[in-house]
Amino acid sequence: MAAALRTHRIACIPGDGIGPEVIGATLKVLETLERSLKTFKLDFTQLPWGSDYYRSQGRYMPTDGIQLLKQHDAILFGAVGDKDVPDHISLWELLLAIRGQMQLYVNVRPVRTLPGIQPLIATPVKPIDWVIIRENSEGEYAGQGGRTHVGQPWECATEVAIYTRHGVGRIMRFAFETALSRPQKSLIVVTKSNAMRNGMVLWDEIATEISKDYPSVTMEKMLVDAMTVRMVKNPHTIDTIVGTNLQMDILSDLAAALAGSIGIASSSNIDPSRQSPSFFEPVHGSAFDITGKGVANPLGAIWSATEMLRWLKEDDAADRLMSAIEKVCEGNILTRDLGGHAGTLDVADAISKELSQ
Ligand code: GGG
């Protein structure tokens, strides 16, 4: 008798802009992977949430959206953002609502030089292989602040960053655990604690406290401005990086560009306790300039799907998918952001072909 397939329930939110294109490509390769391995099944719920939904319903997801998501094992997400809706509305109603309400407090952003992709750094001593750990629930994205005297010359706006001992402690511990699991066992704690003398100093203090539990991890502290220079000039000295919500959002875009293109960058929003489903999305946004042209790079979304498979403990599937991505890159089947001429579906088809062999 054939063994029962392991089934995972996946909520799929293609979203806006190029989101549906890159998620469409990802679903294609995942279907091929399922068919060729025959060990697991992904049971997708398609959720049409995003800016079109907002235009018709007045909100980005239904009122019971979070409850619905919680009935799944993972979430696969494309992009959010639309020309007609202010970005702070789309972001807060969908992406940040999901991250915040489900306490997906870890955002893991791996950055690697893939074979066949030319990194932006001219002569790297060794291939880039970093993990950026972004605090995903507080900091500069706390949503605290307000505006007074709107429209007056003396108008005033505040954006208050919140750093809690609990929030910083849990992300720091996750970062040390990640560093410990990697060959180099080194962690760079990034802050701006010379200028920001409260929250950032708390980050430094908590890093020092927690480092005592991880004697085999080499910990360094760096200011975020100096870190940008180090990423460009001495990329081989970097392994695992941890920092605040906004600072790591910025550094991870830089990192993706240095490794070749933001189009390849993947991201996992994780609840390490697994009480909520974790959610996986490419780092890039909606990219209106190329929407509907069939040229978007699907690798960020497909790489995110490999991270999702790993999170679902489908390691064999994740390894095969990553190796197929690498072979296709090595074979120069690249979208134009990487200097190639392939379209979104050409890349997906090439990966599917690799997976079928
Ligand atoms: N693929 C996710 C997406 O659409 N991101 C848009 C964005 O602006 N994200 C901001 C953030 O992650 O902080």
> How would residue 169 be classed by pLDDT, with cut points 50, 70 and 90?
very high
Rounded Cα distance between 57 and 161, Å, is 32
The answer on pLDDT for 2 being more than 80 is: no
Predicted complex ipTM? 0.94
Span 106-118, pLDDT tens digits: 999 999 999 999 8
Q: What is the pLDDT of residue 125?
A: 75
Of 91, 108, 140, the residue with max ligand 1 atoms within 8 A of its CB, to mutate for a pocket test, comes to: 91
CB 322 within 8 Å of CB 303: yes
Spatial separation of the C-alpha atoms in residues 13 and 39, rounded to whole Å: 24
Cβ of 80 below 6 Å from ligand 1: yes
Distance 89 CA to ligand 1 centre (A): 12
Q: Is 282 in the pocket of ligand 1 (CB under 6 A)?
A: yes
- For residue 107, the ligand 1 atom closest to its alpha carbon is 12
- Average pLDDT, stretch 84-104? 95
Minimum-distance ligand 1 atom for the alpha carbon of 282: 1
pLDDT at 160 over 80: yes
Mean predicted confidence (pLDDT) in 313-325 = 98
Give residue 121's pLDDT.
Answer: 78
Ligand 1: distance of its center to the CA of 186 in Å?
28
What is the percentage of the chain residues whose pLDDT exceeds 90?
96
Quick check: 62 pLDDT over 70? yes
Instruction: State if residue 249 touches ligand 1 by the CB under 6 angstroms criterion.
Output: yes
* Residue owning the nearest CA to atom 11 of ligand 1: 249
What confidence tens digit (pLDDT) does each residue in 234-248 have? 999 999 999 999 999
Asked if the model's pLDDT at residue 1 lies above 70, the reply is no
What is the Å distance from ligand 1's center to 282 Cα? 8
Confidence category of residue 4, pLDDT binned at 50, 70, 90: confident
Bridge partner list, 278: 74
> Which of 16, 80, 104, 307 should be mutated for ligand 1, with most atoms under 8 A from CB?
80
The answer to whether the CB of 75 is under 6 A from ligand 1 is no
Distance from the alpha carbon of residue 334 to the mean position of ligand 1, in angstroms: 23
CA nearest ligand 1 atom 1, residue: 79
Averaged over 73-94, what is the pLDDT?
A: 96
pTM, to two decimals:
0.96
The residue whose CA is least distant from atom 9 of ligand 1 is 285
**Are the C-beta atoms of residues 38 and 7 closer than 8 Å to each other?**
no
- Residue with CA at minimum distance from ligand 1 atom 7: 285
Q: Which residues contact 14 (CB under 8 A, 6 or more apart)?
A: 20, 23, 24, 46, 50, 78
The predicted-structure confidence for 174-201, as pLDDT tens digits, reads as follows 999 999 999 999 999 999 999 999 999 9
- Does residue 281 line the site of ligand 1, with CB under 6 A? yes
Note the pLDDT of residue 126. Answer: 84
Instruction: Compute, in angstroms, the gap from residue 283 CA to the centroid of ligand 1.
Output: 6
pLDDT, average across residues 222-232: 97
What's the pLDDT at 55? 96
Minimum CA distance residue for ligand 1 atom 2? 79
Predicted pLDDT of residue 92: 95
The whole-angstrom distance between residue 236's C-alpha and the CA centroid of its chain comes to 22
At 177 the pLDDT is 98
Whether 139 is in the pocket of ligand 1, judged by its Cβ within 6 Å, is no
Residue found under tokens 């999901």? 98
Q: Please state, rounded to an integer, the average pLDDT across all residues of the chain.
A: 96
Give me the helix-helix angle, 299-311 and 315-330, nearest 10°: 160
Domains of the chain: 1-103+274-357 (3.40.718.10), 119-259 (3.40.718.10)
φ/ψ (deg, to 5) at 7:
-110, 135
The pLDDT of residue 122: 64
CA of 80 to the centre of ligand 1 (A): 7
Question: How many whole angstroms from 284 Cα to the centroid of ligand 1?
Answer: 6
For 8, list phi and psi in degrees, rounded to 5.
-120, 130
Under 8 Å between Cβ of 269 and 281:
yes
- Give me the pLDDT at residue 200, please: 98
Predicted pLDDT of residue 357: 85
Return the residue matching tokens 């091929």.
Answer: 32
